Copies of this chain bind each other. A is one copy, B any other.
Amino acid sequence: MKKKIFIYDTTLRDGAQAEGVSFSPSGKLRLAERLDEFGVDYIEGGYAGSNRKDMEFFHQAADLGLKHARIVAFGSTRRKGKNIKDDPFVSSLIAAPTETVTIYGKSWLLHVHEVLRATPRQNIEMVRDTIAFLKDHGRQVFFDAEHFFDGFKDSPEYAQQVLSAAVEAGADCLVLCDTNGGTMPHEINEITSKVCCAFDVPIGIHVHNDCGMAVANSIEAVRAGAVQVQGTINGYGERCGNANLCTIVPNLQIKLGYNCVKKSELRHLRELALFVDDLVNCRPDIRAPFIGHSAFSHKGGPHVNAVQKNPSTFEHIDPANVGNERHVLVSELSGGSNVLLKAIEVGIGRDESVRGKSDILAALKDLEHRGYAFESADGSFRILVQKVLKKHKSFFDLDGFRVIIEKRGKDEPCISEATVKVRVNGEIEQTVAEGDGPVNALDGALRKALFRFYPSISNVQLTDFRVRILDPEEATAATTRVLIESTDGDDTWGTVGVSGNIIEASWEALFDSVEYKLFRDEEKRQSKSRKKKKK
């Protein structure tokens, strides 16, 4: 039986301290349900007391009927010089309908003196009183020893006296915190080992990422005997973030053989990570270990070759175990095998891909030399392959476009107007649109022109627009690469355009985006009708 490590999620409390991260009340409930499904053991829901919204969350969460996880209310030790019964913060911990509470207290003399302005003994009494009171009220109590590692390095005796007081008062778990995130992995290991030897209660770890060590520090604490790991989804948190559970859980479970969540649930890790990014409206980190879009992307030709022969040559785990997948990037550095895999990935048949491989590669190298990049432009890549294989079908022809940007006086806003003239099955359509900027106007005019022939165009939304100047030293005459990302709700695709004229580059990417959509629609229709015929 593998050793169980308890996962304690504090995304809703410590994660929400991050710059730009906040949760709506319904978002908090939805995340609690997702975390429960995933199999975390504890969900720290927020502060008891200081925040009415958090108290409402505790009440609503109690009705969620979670299968496995326990909701935890967070608070601090009583104030200095206050009678515990008169401390409103401690009372609200009792008022919160949770079986488990976590309180934080000081274990670094610097903070006792300079922040609390208390004596070492006063601080210890605050810890002891508060835990005893909460235990008297039947709670499971976790004690977060704030700045524990700094405190221990300063005075091991005092840091341990604080823990002793917590244990005597009945604490169910001692959580060692690296609150400033400044401790190194070997120090974490050494100090946690000492604490695990000295105390007979479960030990937990809560660290921050200020030295880029939060994951390593959490793992080292577990190797030293800690059984509870506190962290957040995607590492959200103040400053450089908290320990990232999306990295820690697969490391513990897949690489080191501990037991954290069900193996079948771990396969939903990437989904969970993207769900949280979505919830807080943050752009996913494509390079995130295990769950990032690039985590199993291969670019170099020899690598791709080797992965095809045996994935374990260049992949340290099977991406499916964390719900991710392998991607092959097409780029300058790539050889035939990249192109082959990529062609298959975008839906070209294997035989056809093999046959067209060298032609596709030649076309690709030529375009890349001119500044195109297909790494995030699957849509344009697909169209390119179709053209090389002489299977490309045009859905419309361009007779021309004109964009006018006009400013009539220093403080007047700029006006952008675009006209587009296209031909569909011999019919000419000419439209005009204004927009927020020239590309927006052009996009509007093009859709307007095509809508009559292809109404599904109206489902397409542009979700990303990036501009890159390729030879900036050419200044305003420089070559420009435009990348567009589009979605129709079902699919998402990228397209690319390159030109010395930024409007023309944007136009190319827009054109590809629309063609790709129309092409995919047709492909889907054909595949449906083939299925029908078979029946």
| A positions within 8 Å CB-CB of B | 17-20, 22, 24, 26, 51, 110-111, 114-115, 179-182, 184-186, 209-213, 215-216, 219-220, 223, 235, 238-241, 244, 247, 251, 255-256, 281, 285-290, 292-300, 302-303, 305-306, 309-310, 312-317, 329, 332-333, 373, 375-376, 397-410, 412-414, 416, 435-440, 442-443, 461-478, 480, 484-485, 499-504, 506-507
Contact = CB atoms under 8 A, between A and B. Distances in A.
A404 B407 contact: no
Given A210-B316, A211-B289, 15 more contacts: A19-B297, A110-B312, A115-B302, A179-B314, A211-B251, A239-B295, A281-B468, A400-B408, A402-B407, A403-B404, A404-B404, A405-B501, A416-B503, A437-B504, A475-B485
Nearest to A215: B212
Contact of A22 (B51, B316, B373): B373
Given A19-B299, A297-B19, A443-B476, A211 B255 contact: yes
Contact of A240 (B287, B314, B409, B477): B287
- Most chain B CB neighbours (cut-off 10 Å) among A24, A114, A294, A499: A294
Nearest to A281: B468
- Most chain B CB neighbours (cut-off 10 Å) among A115, A211, A435, A461: A211
Contact of A400 (B186, B247, B373, B406): B406
A313 B115 contact: yes
B466 A469 contact: yes
Contacts of A329: 19
A286 B235 CA distance: 13
14 contacts: A19-B297, A20-B376, A216-B216, A239-B298, A240-B289, A240-B294, A400-B407, A407-B504, A437-B501, A437-B503, A439-B502, A442-B476, A462-B476, A465-B469
Nearest to A291: B240
B470 A465 contact: no
- Please provide the 4 A-B residue pairs with the shortest distance between their CB atoms, ordered closest to farther: A182-B316, A462-B475, A216-B216, A212-B247
A472 B466 contact: yes
A261 B123 CA distance: 42
Nearest to A243: B212
Contact of A476 (B296, B332, B440): B440
A495 B114 CA distance: 36
A182 to B, nearest CB: 3
Nearest to A17: B299
A475 B504 contact: no
Contact of A239 (B256, B297, B312): B297
Nearest to A187: B255
B215 A213 contact: yes
B216 A185 contact: yes
A386 B297 CA distance: 50
B403 A476 contact: no
A293 B180 CA distance: 16
A435 B476 contact: yes
Contacts of A414: 499, 501, 503-504, 507
A501 B408 contact: no
A182 B317 contact: yes
